[in-house]
Structure 1
Amino acid sequence: MTVNSSTPAGGTLDVLLGNYPHTRVLRDGTIPVEGAECRFLSASPLHSAFPRMAGGLEFDVCEMPVATYLLARDAGVPLTLLPAVLIGATHHHSLTRLPDGPELDVRRLAGHRIGVRSYGQTTGLWVRGILREDYGVEASDVTWVTTEDAHVASYVNPPNVERSTAGGVAALLRAGDVAAAVLGPRAIGVQGVPLVPVIKDADHAAQAWTERHGTVPANHLLVVRDDVLRTRRDEVTALFRALARGIDATAGERDLASPAGRAVTAGWSDSLARCLEIAARYALEQKLVRTPVDLARIQKDAAFLEG
């Protein structure tokens, strides 16, 4: 926990963020949050904080995956999106298999079992959208085997989702319970299994996707509790602007030629609008949300940051 103090107006903001170059400069005070006192909190693993925010509104401001935010919004959780992308990446390489297992034709995955940490996981949202859009495989054509529940407790999985208690997603692969698994770029290297992408030439396919859509898939955004926003808007604005400065100041620590490097941004942009539109469409197609997402309202709710 780190406190960054500079002329607070209404007590301390509890802020839960992951550990990245653009957040470390706020934690250590290199970039002060002018006009707000912030208590920067941590969670290990980071994703353990997301159900605490979505279910109990435990923090004032919190990093949150795109899919979790869409689920929470659909469930009526009083959160407002702040337009900052903390991490993002392409995900054609996130559908993986064991290197010594049989090769899979990505266009013929119907009827297969695929492991994913949660049906509501953001990497899974992007992978299923890619499968439908690029390869003609519907989410409902696959049995999705999960090892965790969604971050929003009220969400009910579709009937083609099974819950396993056999261990992590890599364990499902090793046991032969699934033919492939959704493992994001941060997870693949720590699973103890040298996995390979199911999609051949995944980097080229991902580049084609980003060029076609004019955006990079966001994984984690930022949200604020509605009651905090109502009563402490100036402090929330101060925090957001400090984060934007942090993102700019640490640009040299990211590979801006890579999708992951380009994804980290603060502020509304055409790229972010397209990203959210695609994620919202994928979520509706996959039955993660029940009704179309009002993107104009989401942007309007955070318009105060444009001043």
Structure 2
Amino acid sequence: MPRISIGLSDSDRTRPLASGEVPIAGFDADVTLMGVQALFNRQLGEHVFDVCEFPLATYLRTLERPDRPYLAIPVFPSRHFRFSSVFVNKAAGIAAPADLAGRRIGLMVFDMAAAVWLRGIFEEHHGLDRTAPIYVTGGLEAPRAGDEHPQHYPAKFRIEHRTDRSLAELLATGEIDALYTARAPSTWPSATVGRLFEDPKPVELAYYARTGIFPPMHVLALKRKVAEANPGLVRALYDAFVAAAAVARARLFDQAALSTSLPWQLEALLETERLLGRDYWPAGLAKNRAMLEVICRYVREDGLVDTAFTPEELFEGGDVLDT
């Protein structure tokens, strides 16, 4: 069988693939699990994997390259409501997203999906013009000399680059007022650092009730040349990831021996499905069309791409567009 290399983050949705419990039909898969940022830095810098979990907004940027090196599949290994991921200096007097106008907001990666979603959501639903803050890039927990993978900084934004101290420290000392992040800083919780939404769940549920969107952070992408050389691989990957997600849910449902250390694991699953619906983490184009239209718009409104991509164009050339 053809051998393919796959790079993924470590989650209940990917472990069945890494263990071989869920095979990629017709292919011998060599699956590597690693931390998200290390995975992205390695793939975007060295392009080592044939198939890789990929940052969603960055994937859209690749579609404007002449060679269009990657082809996405409509499965989304990571989703997150990011209202819980906005941290503030408590002395800054920030009580609502609109209060971030004119303030300094730390970012590790300008085009990371968390930041794209927050800029778009806060402008569309909370009255914060995406260009009103000053964005400060740097390393979360240690100073960083520069970007870990190539970035584009649209001219309409005010952007500063800090290489002397970490964003976590800058937030604690008040040199930045807020932080958009996929990972909580080490300086939280503390006397100086809190969250913009200390109880984010009601805000996130209200957003879901208004939009029906559970925002994806990542998409699955494979090298276009690999897809072209291996007919059937796109469908095999799609089917395998859907099957792995079903295995993950079954383990959450099983109370014989808890698959996580959460004591009310089953109750959390049932509550989530009651609030968001049974298929709250959908795969396929049809069930994600409205969400994809929004993220395509947000990425363009940010100026990260010039093209008004349609959802179909994200997966053009694959064989799962009717899913």
Normalised-by-shorter TM-score class: 0.7 to 0.9
Aligned to 1:230: 228
Unaligned residue ranges in structure 1 (runs of 5+): 1-7
Aligned to 1:70: 60
Following superposition, the deviation at residue 67 of structure 1 comes to 1.5
Aligned to 2:49: 59
Aligned to 2:133: 142
Alpha-carbon displacement from aligned partner over 1:35-87 (angstroms, at most 9, x marks no partner): 100111233x3222324434543211000121121222233441111111111
**What is the root-mean-square deviation of aligned Cα atoms in Å?**
2.6
Following superposition, the deviation at residue 191 of structure 1 comes to 2.1
Aligned to 1:279: 295
Pick aligned residue for 1:173 from 171, 174, 178: 171
AA aligned opposite 2:12: P
Aligned to 2:260: none
Alpha-carbon displacement from aligned partner over 1:144-186 (angstroms, at most 9, x marks no partner): 10116667526234341111113432122023211111123xx
Aligned to 2:285: 268
Change (3 A) 1:23 1:253: same
Secondary structure at the aligned position of 2:13 is classed as: helix
Aligned to 2:261: none
Deviates more, 1:93-102 or 1:257-266: 257-266
CA distance in 1, matches of 2:62, 2:43: 10
Q: Name the TM-score, length of structure 1 as normaliser.
A: 0.85
Tell me, yes or no, if the aligned pair for 1:17 and 1:23 is still in contact at 8 Å: yes
Between Structure 1 and Structure 2, how many residues are aligned? 293
Aligned to 1:5: none
CA distance in 2, matches of 1:262, 1:143: 38
Change (3 A) 1:304 1:218: closer
Tell me, yes or no, if the aligned pair for 1:85 and 1:266 is still in contact at 8 Å: yes
CA distance in 2, matches of 1:122, 1:260: 24
> In the alignment, does 2:112 pair up with 1:117?
no
Tell me, yes or no, if the aligned pair for 1:88 and 1:218 is still in contact at 8 Å: yes
Change (3 A) 1:154 1:91: closer
1:8-23 matches, cutoff 5 A: 8=1, 10=2, 12-23=3-14
CA distance in 2, matches of 1:242, 1:168: 39
CA distance in 2, matches of 1:260, 1:181: 31
The structure with the greater share of residues assigned to strand is 1
Unaligned residue ranges in structure 2 (runs of 5+): 140-145, 253-268
Aligned to 2:186: 191
Secondary structure at the aligned position of 1:39 is classed as: strand
CA distance in 2, matches of 1:49, 1:125: 20
CA distance in 2, matches of 1:90, 1:200: 14
Alpha-carbon displacement from aligned partner over 1:91-128 (angstroms, at most 9, x marks no partner): 22221114565444422321111111111111111111
Change (3 A) 1:302 1:168: farther
Following superposition, the deviation at residue 280 of structure 1 comes to 1.1
CA distance in 2, matches of 1:260, 1:284: 30
Tell me, yes or no, if the aligned pair for 1:170 and 1:191 is still in contact at 8 Å: yes
Aligned to 2:255: none
Taking only the aligned residue pairs, the percentage that are identical comes to 24
Change (3 A) 1:278 1:142: same
> In the alignment, does 2:29 pair up with 1:38?
yes
Tell me, yes or no, if the aligned pair for 1:86 and 1:265 is still in contact at 8 Å: no
Aligned to 2:150: 153
Following superposition, the deviation at residue 262 of structure 1 comes to 5.9
AA aligned opposite 1:64: F
Change (3 A) 1:105 1:242: closer
Q: Name the TM-score, length of structure 2 as normaliser.
A: 0.81
CA distance in 2, matches of 1:290, 1:260: 35
AA aligned opposite 1:193: W
Tell me, yes or no, if the aligned pair for 1:98 and 1:196 is still in contact at 8 Å: yes
Secondary structure at the aligned position of 1:114 is classed as: strand
AA aligned opposite 1:49: L
Change (3 A) 1:266 1:304: closer
AA aligned opposite 2:209: E
